[in-house]
Amino acid sequence: MWVYEKKLQYPVKVGKCDMRMAKYLYTQYGGPDGELGAAIRYLNQRYTMPTNEAKGLLTDIGTEELAHVEMICTMIYQLTKDATPQQMEEAGLGTNYAIRANALFPADPNGVPWTASYIQAHSDPVTDLTENMAAEQKARAAYENLISMTDDHGMRDALKFLREREVVHFQRFGEALRIVQEYQAAKKIF
């Protein structure tokens, strides 16, 4: 189904160790509006879409969200790879370090593990697509907040790329919503 190219969708070049920023980035990894939840949500919702265009769109965006998980994980790893246990603890990542050392784990910035309860899927395509548009706007807003919290040029560059992809996804879900609504309104003669 997929062809995996062994490179990030967009290059990530973090300039320095920054435990504070690493903790904040966890919101886009394992938080309720993060990339992991979005990927799984979209890849699940595609099965109940009534048109091939909508199914294809959810597959494409769901797959891209997995690429965004990879980028977020790369950023967190680069920000923490040379951190000492003391630095991890001072940044509020001491519990993560105690359990996993510097390994990544899908959780929010408070250490609450990612859960499938974050996924929305109702089998009503209008409901799901509208939810997805809202989810993309929440992710865009989170990226804007994260951009304002760092002065690292490489970090800002990657976060801006991710923010812009959220805008594109919002627009594409809007297109899919229009297509699905037109399909539902069309007379069906059997």
- Which CATH number do you get for residue 38? 1.20.1260.10
Using the predicted structure, report yes or no on whether residue 87 has a pLDDT greater than 80.
Answer: yes
pLDDT tens column, 127-173: 999 999 999 999 999 999 999 999 999 999 999 999 999 999 999 99
Options 53, 153, 169, 175, the catalytic residue? 169
- Percent with pLDDT over 90 in the chain: 84
Task: State the pLDDT at residue 155.
Answer: 96
DSSP string, 57-73: HHHHHHHHHHHHHHHHH
Tell the residue number behind the tokens 């059997």, with chain if given.
Answer: 190
Q: pTM for the full model?
A: 0.93
Q: Say which of 53, 64, 68, 164 is annotated catalytic.
A: 68
In the residue annotation, 136 being an active-site residue is answered as: yes
Residue 188 or 74, more confident: 74
The pLDDT of 106-121, averaged and rounded, is 92
Measured N-to-C along each axis, helices 125-148 and 19-30 cross at an angle, to the nearest 10 degrees, of 180
Which residue range(s) make up the domain with 55?
19-185
Whether residue 4 lies inside any domain: the answer is no
169 is catalytic: yes
Confidence of residue 34 (pLDDT cuts 50, 70, 90): very high
In this prediction, what percent of the chain has a pLDDT beyond 70?
Answer: 98
Q: Is residue 64 annotated as part of the catalytic site, yes or no? A: no
Dihedral over Cα of 35, 41, 47, 48: its sign: negative
Catalytic residue among 136, 144, 153, 164: 136
Q: Is the pLDDT of residue 15 over 90?
A: no
Residue 35 lies in a domain: yes
Does residue 70 belong to any structural domain of this protein?
yes
- Does residue 77 sit within a domain? yes
- Beta-carbon contacts of residue 35 (< 8 Å; ≥ 6 apart): 28, 29, 65, 66, 68, 69, 72, 139
Active-site residue, from 5, 53, 64, 65 = 65
Respond yes or no: is residue 5 known to be catalytic: no
State residue 118's pLDDT score.
92
Residue 68 annotated to the active site: yes
Is 166 labeled as catalytic in the residue annotation? yes
pLDDT of residue 5: 80
Does 106 fall in a domain? yes
Higher pLDDT, 111 or 166: 166
Asked if residue 12 belongs to a domain, the reply is: no
Predicted confidence band at 1 (pLDDT cuts at 50, 70, 90)? low
115 occurs within a structural domain = yes
How many independent structural domains does the chain possess?
1
- Write down the pLDDT at residue 2: 65
Task: Spell 71-103 as b/e; 16+ CB within 10 A means b.
Answer: bbbbbbebbbeebeeebbbebebeebbeeeebe
CA 119 to each of CA 31, 49, 129, 167: distance values in angstroms, whole numbers, following the listed order: 11, 16, 13, 20
In this predicted structure, what is the pLDDT of residue 89? Answer: 93
The verdict on residue 31 lying in a domain is yes
